[in-house]
Amino acid sequence: MQQLYEKLTYTQELIDLENEFGVHNYHPLEVVLLALQEQAAKITLSSRAFHNEQLPHYLKELHDLTGFEMAMPLNSGTEAVEAAIKIARKWGHKIKGIPEGKAEIIVCDGNFHGRTIAIVGFSSSAEYRDGFGPFPAGFNLIPFGDAEALRNAITPNTCAFLVEPIQGEGGIIIPPDGYLHAAAEICKQNNVLLVLDEIQSGLGRTGKLFCYEHENITPDVLILGKALAGGFMPVSAVLASREILGVIQPGDHGSTFGGNPLACAVARAALRVLVEEKMIDRAAELGAYFLERVRAIRNRDIKEVRGKGLWIAIELNGMARPYCEALKEQGILAKETHDHIIRIAPPLTITRDEIDWAVQRLTKVLEA
């Protein structure tokens, strides 16, 4: 009897935790599917039609780490950006009072937010759009890094400004100092949500937990992916306040595998490792060292070396592909982006010795 009572209490605790820190886009049956160790082989994926034991703890830990009141658990990055767009539009229509179907989102030239129809629809890269139209309306492109352009583009129907703090796929494009700060002020003055896509820049990559911390701001909506599960499996999330995420009701959005027990367990472990192993400080320290050493490489083809944390771009005057191929032969996997940029984004577990090893090879290839 006592055991049964304890089980029921634990079940209720889990359901309460999930309700407190998770978006109410589902209305699950009040049963908790436990992923205890001996059951892990059986319950790795369970649908959100039911509760699972991992999700409430994951949501609470995400809240404790980030300070955001609630999160919506999803799988891929693009899926999380799509969800954020829906949330921003619904907030615009239901809370801000924008006439139905008129909500606009401002986005930036050179953006990369994923590959769904809506997202490629507002890409400024012709090759991402070619052959895939027609695209949804309601997105306005402005130059990246220009706060005045943002101010001028806002209309009474603008619900959100969606932006990467540093454009990753665009070539690790770092905006001028103060840009994000100014953008946050402009959004606040105009009752526009600042939606930051930190799928690539977040979780320690730039030497802070989130890239926005470099400018002492907090976005209204934060999108995470990639490193959220330590690269082990696809896990993404949209984080925001209770007021914003409260617009989402059961049935408004869904994802069968979003928040599944295995994903939540892995993400919990990844977040723990990030903090306990001081990955963020390491990224700041080792990133500065790596950048300095790459900057010392001499090659007439190098136009610029830039970076933040463990995220470095080598921009060339010519094509990057031959260098990436030569680097592969040396054991370094660095993919070119936009033809002329070599992007270096090592795992945050990299050591100083491994950086020295990599610099030796980068020097050999680039100085050849």
Question: Active site includes 197?
Answer: yes
Residue 352: CB minimum distance to ligand PLP, A: 27
Q: Which of 164, 220, 315, 336 binds ligand PLP (CB under 6 A)?
A: 164
Helix (H, G, I), strand (E, B) or coil at 294: helix
**Nearest residue (CB) to ligand PLP, 107 versus 327:** 107
Q: What's the rounded Cα separation, in Å, for the pair 54 and 344?
A: 34
> CB of 168 within 8 A of CB of 309?
no
* Per-residue binding letters, 184-223, with ligand PLP (x by CB under 6 A): -------------x-xx-----------------------
Terminal Cα-to-Cα distance of the chain (whole angstroms): 75
Q: Does the protein bind ligand PLP through residue 168 (CB under 6 A)? A: yes
Residue 345: CB minimum distance to ligand PLP, A: 10
**Nearest residue (CB) to ligand PLP, 168 versus 261:** 168
Q: Does the protein bind ligand PLP through residue 53 (CB under 6 A)? A: no
| β-sheet with 302-307: strand ranges across | 302-307, 312-316, 341-344, 336-337
Site for ligand PLP in 99-158 (CB under 6 A): 112-114
Q: Which of 53, 82, 146, 169 binds ligand PLP (CB under 6 A)?
A: 169
Selected range binding ligand PLP among 87-95, 102-110, 164-172, 247-255, rule: CB under 6 A = 164-172
Take residue 187 and report the two structure tokens written for it. Answer: 């959004």
CB atoms within 10 A of CB 95: 15
**Nearest residue (CB) to ligand PLP, 202 versus 287:** 202
Q: Is the dihedral of CA 268, 273, 275, 276 positive or negative?
A: positive
Question: Active site includes 188?
Answer: no
With contacts defined by CB under 6 A, how many residues of the chain interact with ligand PLP? 14
Give every CB contact of residue 108 below 8 A, 6+ residues apart in sequence: 141, 142, 143, 144, 163, 164, 167
Longest Cα–Cα distance of the chain, Å, equals 78
Q: Does the protein bind ligand PLP through residue 82 (CB under 6 A)? A: no
Q: Which of 226, 257, 290, 308 is catalytic?
A: 226
Question: Active site includes 226?
Answer: yes
Among residues 284, 151, 288, 128, the alpha carbon closest in space to that of 214 is found at 284
Could you list the residues that contact ligand PLP (CB under 6 A)? 76-78, 81, 112-114, 164, 168-169, 197, 199-200, 225
Catalytic residues: 112, 197, 226
